[in-house]
Structure 1
Amino acid sequence: MFSKKKKNDNEHTNMESHADEQNNTQPVDQANGENVNETPAETAAELSAEEKLKEENAALNDKYLRLFAEFDNYKRRTQKERVELLQTAGKDVIVSLLPVLDDFDRAHKATETATDVAAVREGVQLVHHKLKNLLVQKGLKEMESINTPFDTDLHEAITKIPAPNDDMKGKVMDELEKGYTLNDKVIRFAKVVVGS
């Protein structure tokens, strides 16, 4: 009885090993786990595909490094241009003010020897007018503050005084220092006296 069972077990084991052999028809090289029946063309195709991937990877890496270097150069260049711009930002305004400065120098010389005050006053007014026109061309505007409602975005209140009538309450009664805008942006608040 034991011998029959042993015989059946052996047959069962032989059948399993025969089925495994049928499923795995390609012999395997025990040293490196590769199929022995693989053709050299298949191996070459795998190597060429691997080489192509390595070449693509190297090309992409090179492209990335070039883009990074180009961006770094761009940052340095724009930073240098920004510094140069800040250093020479007012150059055109200064150059345009030089004729006014020359006029003031001439007016100063004229006051030393002038006997007619009216002529000197007229010359100073002309220079003042020339300076104002030049600044207006550059975008500078004076604020009109007197008799306007007090606005903290435009005015700086120095003091409050009693208003002569109810209409002047909360309005600018006097201007101690003019306010200016440059291209519609406030660059100096008007210092004013407000009615209360």
Structure 2
Amino acid sequence: MAKKEKIQEEELKAEEAIAEEAVEETSEAVEELPDTEVIEDEETAQAVEEEEDESLRDQLVRLQADFTNFRNRTQRERIELYQRANEDLLLEILPVLDHYEMGLETAEQHEADKAVVDGFKMVYDQFRNVLKKFNLEPIEAVGQEFDPHKHEALTHMPSDEYPAEVCSNQVRRGYMFGDKLLRAAQVVVSSGPAEASAEKGAE
């Protein structure tokens, strides 16, 4: 047994010696590596670092772009919501304005007290000026060529004053809200002079 143990001990020592020799050889090989390889390692590390920095910059740019788009979209939606709210309010107000205009016209036709009529006209002008501040503009109709994008034709009637396809009368005033049609003007469209219309009908 002692002999066997001695052999095992010698084998272990031999293995340790081989291991130590391998370590020494590896250390010497590392020490003998040329400086260029170290530089290449540094350059590689720097390249990796620059690539990571560039990736982070790209992410930051994309994040900034996404935030800018989000902010613009939110602002646009806020403006659209504000405009829709104004449109709804103005559409509720317009019938009141229509009735006010009819009442004022009736008062003038029946020769009501001038001071009273002038007072109502003043209030009417103030009302119109307030609506104008909100980009509400009346649509010109009478004497204008019929435009289906602004006018709603209720009927065609002969007219000696206006040629065919021209608005000869306005039944209800129309309004533009900025560049958008808020309410079309209801109009009577001329079919031309009565005689010409009759001749055309006879044909």
Cα deviation 1:41-67 (Å, max 9, x = unaligned): 121122122112101111101111222
Matched positions, count: 137
**How far apart, in 1, do the equivalents of 2:144 and 2:82 lie?**
38
2:182 corresponds to which residue?
Answer: 187
Instruction: Provide the alpha-carbon RMSD of the alignment.
Output: 3.4
> Does structure 1 conserve the Cα–Cα contact (< 8 Å) formed by 2:143 and 2:162?
no
Alignment partner for residue 158 of structure 1, among 136, 148, 154?
A: 154
Identity of aligned residues (%): 23
Q: Does 1:149 align with 2:114?
A: no
Instruction: Specify whether residues 177 and 166 from structure 1 end up closer, same or farther in structure 2 by C-alpha distance, changes over 3 A only.
Output: closer
Instruction: Specify whether residues 68 and 191 from structure 1 end up closer, same or farther in structure 2 by C-alpha distance, changes over 3 A only.
Output: same
Instruction: Specify whether residues 164 and 118 from structure 1 end up closer, same or farther in structure 2 by C-alpha distance, changes over 3 A only.
Output: closer
What is the one-letter code of the residue matched to 2:63?
Answer: A
2:41 corresponds to which residue?
Answer: 47
Quote how far apart the aligned CAs of 1:122 are: 4.8
Unpaired runs of at least 5, structure 2: 1-31, 94-99, 101-111, 192-203
Q: Does 1:65 align with 2:59?
A: yes
1:20 corresponds to which residue?
Answer: none
Going by fraction, where is helix more abundant, 1 or 2?
2
Q: Secondary structure at the match of 1:168?
A: coil
> Does structure 1 conserve the Cα–Cα contact (< 8 Å) formed by 2:162 and 2:168?
no
Unpaired runs of at least 5, structure 1: 1-37, 98-103, 105-115
Q: TM-score, normalized by length of structure 2?
A: 0.53
Cα deviation 1:165-186 (Å, max 9, x = unaligned): 3853222121111122344554
Instruction: Specify whether residues 137 and 164 from structure 1 end up closer, same or farther in structure 2 by C-alpha distance, changes over 3 A only.
Output: same
Q: Does 1:78 align with 2:72?
A: yes
Instruction: Specify whether residues 81 and 142 from structure 1 end up closer, same or farther in structure 2 by C-alpha distance, changes over 3 A only.
Output: closer
User: Which deviates more, 148-157 or 182-191?
Assistant: 182-191
**How far apart, in 2, do the equivalents of 1:72 and 1:179 lie?**
42
What is the one-letter code of the residue matched to 1:130?
Answer: Q
Q: TM-score, normalized by length of structure 1?
A: 0.55
Instruction: Specify whether residues 187 and 68 from structure 1 end up closer, same or farther in structure 2 by C-alpha distance, changes over 3 A only.
Output: same
> Does structure 1 conserve the Cα–Cα contact (< 8 Å) formed by 2:162 and 2:190?
no
Alignment partner for residue 132 of structure 1, among 108, 123, 128?
A: 128
> Does structure 2 conserve the Cα–Cα contact (< 8 Å) formed by 1:177 and 1:190?
yes
Instruction: Specify whether residues 88 and 186 from structure 1 end up closer, same or farther in structure 2 by C-alpha distance, changes over 3 A only.
Output: closer
